[in-house]
Chains A and B, each alone.
Chain A
Amino acid sequence: MNSESYAMRNLNERALSATAEEIAAAADTGDAVRMRVEGLSVYYGKVQAVKQVTMSIRTHKVTALIGPSGCGKSTFIRCLNRMHELTPGARVEGKVLLDEQDLYGPGVDPVDVRRRVGMVFQKPNPFPNMSVKENVIAGFKLRGVRDRKVLDEVIEKSLRGAALWDEVKDNLQKSGASLSGGQQQRLCIARALAVQPEVLLMDEPCSALDPIATAKIEELVHELKDQVTIAIVTHNMQQAARVSDFTSFFYLGELVEFGETAKLFTAPEKRQTEDYITGRFG
Chain B
Amino acid sequence: MDRHFRFRKFIEWATWFGMLGCISVSVFFLVGILGYVLVHGAGYIDWEFLTAMPVPAGETGGGIANALVGSFLVVAVAGLMALPIGIGAAIFINEFPSHGFGHTVRFLAEVLTGVPSIVVGLFAYALVVIPSGGFSALSGSVAYAFIMVPIILISAHEALRLVPDSLREASLALGIPKWRTIMGVVLPVSSRALVTGAVLAISRALGEAAPMLFTAFGNSFWNVNLTKPVATVPLLIYTYATGPYEDWHQKAWAASFVLLLVVLFTSVLTRAFLRSKSNE
Q: Which A positions have Cβ atoms within 8 angstroms of B? A: 81, 83, 86, 88, 111-116, 118-119, 121, 123, 125-129, 138-139, 141-144, 177, 188, 191-192, 195
Closest to A115 in B: B175
Q: 18 other contacts beyond A111-B176, A123-B166, with CB at 8 A cut-off?
A: A83-B172, A88-B97, A112-B175, A118-B174, A121-B169, A125-B169, A126-B170, A127-B167, A127-B171, A129-B188, A129-B191, A139-B176, A142-B171, A142-B176, A191-B170, A191-B174, A192-B173, A195-B174
Given contacts A88-B97, A142-B184, A143-B180, are A125 and B174 in contact (CB under 8 A)? Answer: no
Q: Most chain-B Cβ atoms within 10 A of its Cβ — which of A111, A113, A139, A142?
A: A142
- If A88-B97, A123-B166, A141-B184 touch, whether A111 touches B177 (CB-CB below 8 Å) is yes
* A86–B169 alpha-carbon span in the complex (Å): 9
Judge whether B185 and A114 touch: CB under 8 Å. no
Q: Is there a chain A Cβ closer than 8 Å to B105's Cβ?
A: no
Q: Are A83 and B169 in contact (CB under 8 A)?
A: yes
B189 touches A129 (CB 8 A): yes
Within 8 A of A (CB), among B167-213: 167, 169-177, 180-181, 184-185, 188-189, 191
- Among A139, A177, A188, find the residue whose CB has the most chain B CB atoms closer than 10 A: A139
Q: Is B46 an interface residue (CB 8 A)?
A: no
Pairs across A and B, CB under 8 Å, 20 listed: A81-B173, A86-B169, A88-B97, A111-B176, A111-B177, A112-B175, A113-B175, A121-B169, A125-B169, A127-B185, A128-B189, A129-B185, A141-B184, A142-B171, A142-B176, A142-B185, A191-B170, A192-B174, A195-B174, A195-B175
The 8 Å CB contact of A142, one of B97, B166, B174, is B174
B169 in contact with A139 (CB, 8 Å): no
Check: B2 CB closer than 8 A to any chain A CB: no
Say whether B185 contacts A121, CB under 8 Å.
Answer: no
Q: Report the contact-size class of chain B (Cβ under 8 Å from the partner).
A: 20 to 34
- Measured CB to CB, the nearest residue on chain A to B188 is A129
Residues of A within 8 A of B176 (CB): 111, 139, 142-143
Decide: B173 and A114 in contact? CB cutoff 8 A.
Answer: yes
Interface residue from B97, B172, B280 paired with A114 (Cβ < 8 Å): B172
- Complexed CA–CA distance, A278 and B166 (Å): 34
**Chain B's interface: helix, strand, loop or mixed, by majority?**
helix
Q: Which residues of B contact A127 (CB under 8 A)?
A: 167, 170-171, 185, 189
Contacts of A81 in B (CB 8 A): 173
User: If the complex has contacts A88-B97, A125-B167, A128-B280, are A119 and B188 also in contact, measured as CB distance less than 8 A?
Assistant: no
Q: Which residues of A contact B169 (CB under 8 A)?
A: 83, 86, 119, 121, 125
In the complex, what distance in Å separates the CA atom of A111 from the CA atom of B97? 19
Contact A125 B170 (CB under 8 A): yes
> Which chain A positions have C-beta within 8 A of B172?
83, 86, 114
Closest to B191 in A: A129
CB atoms of B280 and A138 under 8 A apart: no
Is there an interface contact between A114 and B175, defined as CB atoms closer than 8 Å? Answer: yes
Question: What 0/1 readout, one digit per residue, does chain B (8-52) give for beta carbons within 8 Å of chain A?
Answer: 000000000000000000000000000000000000000000000
When chains A and B are docked, how far (Å) is the Cα of A81 from the Cα of B173? Answer: 8
Task: Indicate which residue in B164, B175, B280 contacts A111 across the interface (CB closer than 8 Å).
Answer: B175
When chains A and B are docked, how far (Å) is the Cα of A128 from the Cα of B189?
A: 7
Q: Give CA–CA (A149, B51) in the complex, Å.
A: 52
Q: Identify the 3 closest CB pairs spanning chains A and B, nearest first.
A: A115-B175, A119-B173, A114-B175
A115 to chain B, nearest CB (A): 3
Inter-chain CA distance A278–B280, complex, in Å, is: 45
CA distance A138 to B188 in the complex (A): 13
**Cα separation A114 to B185 with both chains bound (whole Å):** 17
A129, B186: Cα distance in complex, Å: 10
Evaluate contact between A139 and B184: CB separation under 8 angstroms: no
Note all chain B residues with C-beta closer than 8 A to A123.
166
Question: CA separation between A111 and B175, bound complex, in Å?
Answer: 5
